[in-house]
């Protein structure tokens, strides 16, 4: 095994064990670094210099993507993986290119899919029947908007994850970080009603419906929840694409538009950096502009 391959494996072990990254993240970093090694044909960290990096970036920028060339965001995934690897090497005193020499490609402003207040209201009221499926789906939608959970966090919940006598519970998110999320009265009531309807002993909070007598319910997958959200969005007559993450976006912007500070929203979303949370500021800036236009009318000042 080449020295660089051995160091990559040690780095991936470090990510998984010491940094608590998921197996999916480990696999992604492995893929990005392996392509870099293959394209540059390096055998040692000392082979990595600015010329080699520039040639790799040029090659990466010319690779085909789904529409034209590879998106800048996708290119940055490779650069972030390489920069993280170089930081790991630097901490261990292994000579190589300084990680500070890697600048990410500039990307266009990220567009956020959002539901307006009317659309959100229609979506949440779509599951209106009292059968187990409708009660389950109602609880899912209410919980997503009440907490801003990622879909993977929602599907990982067990019945004992939530104490319905309280208005809050802890969830383990990305990087195994634990954060506090809060239950609205509507979400608490929806979950309580749904669990009363359940007669199975499966520990998962949200489970599939039995197809036939004797079948045991199974934990819902993220894909299943995405289909549920899409179904009710279509039923509500919402033309834009709606996903669990759309509801998470709506949760964050609702907080900011109603006066929450960005650091608090960062904590409730489980973002490791406030820079990630700042993608919502252009939405709240628009909201502030509308308030300014409504309440700061020169004709009313007497000037």
Active site residues: 150, 174, 245, 248, 271, 280
Q: Strands 178-182 and 168-172: what pairing?
A: antiparallel
Q: How far apart are CA 266 and CA 177, in angstroms?
A: 13
Long-range pairs for 295-298 at CB < 8 Å and ≥24 separation? none
Q: How far apart are CA 197 and CA 199, in angstroms?
A: 7
* Longest distance between any two alpha carbons in the chain, whole Å: 80
Q: Say if residue 247 is exposed, middle or buried (CB neighbours under 10 Å; 0-12, 13-18, 19+).
A: buried
CB 45 within 8 A of CB 96: yes
Q: How far apart are CA 221 and CA 210, in angstroms?
A: 15
Handedness of CA 181, 187, 191, 192 (dihedral sign): positive
CB 174 within 8 A of CB 156: no
Q: Using DSSP, state whether 62 is helix, strand or coil.
A: coil
Structure tokens at 169: 């519970």
Could you tell me which residues are beta bridge partners of residue 161?
A: none
First-to-last C-alpha distance (Å) of the chain: 79
């Amino acid at each position: 095994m080449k020295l660089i391959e051995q160091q990559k494996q040690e780095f991936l072990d470090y990510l998984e064990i010491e940094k608590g990254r998921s197996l999916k993240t480990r696999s992604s970093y492995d893929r990005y670094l392996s392509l870099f090694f293959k394209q540059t044909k390096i055998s040692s960290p000392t082979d990595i210099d600015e010329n080699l990096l520039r040639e790799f970036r040029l090659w990466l920028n010319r690779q085909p993507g789904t529409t034209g060339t590879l998106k800048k965001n996708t290119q940055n995934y490779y650069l972030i993986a390489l920069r993280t690897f170089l930081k790991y090497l630097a901490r261990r005193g292994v000579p190589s290119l300084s990680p500070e020499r890697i600048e990410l490609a500039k990307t266009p402003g990220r567009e956020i899919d959002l539901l307006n207040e009317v659309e959100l209201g229609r979506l949440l009221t779509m599951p209106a029947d009292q059968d187990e499926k409708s009660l389950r789906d109602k609880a899912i939608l209410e919980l997503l908007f009440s907490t801003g959970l990622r879909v993977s966090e929602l599907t990982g919940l067990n019945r004992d994850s939530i104490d319905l006598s309280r208005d809050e519970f802890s969830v383990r998110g990305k990087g195994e970080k634990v954060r506090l999320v809060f239950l609205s009265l509507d979400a608490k009531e929806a979950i309580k009603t749904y669990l009363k309807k359940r007669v199975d002993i499966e520990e998962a909070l949200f489970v599939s419906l039995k197809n036939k007598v004797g079948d045991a319910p199974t934990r819902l997958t993220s894909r299943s929840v995405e289909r549920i959200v899409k179904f009710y969005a279509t039923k509500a007559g919402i033309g834009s694409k709606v996903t669990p993450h759309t509801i998470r976006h709506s949760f964050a912007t609702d907080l900011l538009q109603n006066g929450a500070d960005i650091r608090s929203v960062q904590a409730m979303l489980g973002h490791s950096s406030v820079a990630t949370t700042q993608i919502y500021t252009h939405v709240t800036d628009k909201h502030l502009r509308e308030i300014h236009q409504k309440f700061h009318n020169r004709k009313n000042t007497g000037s």
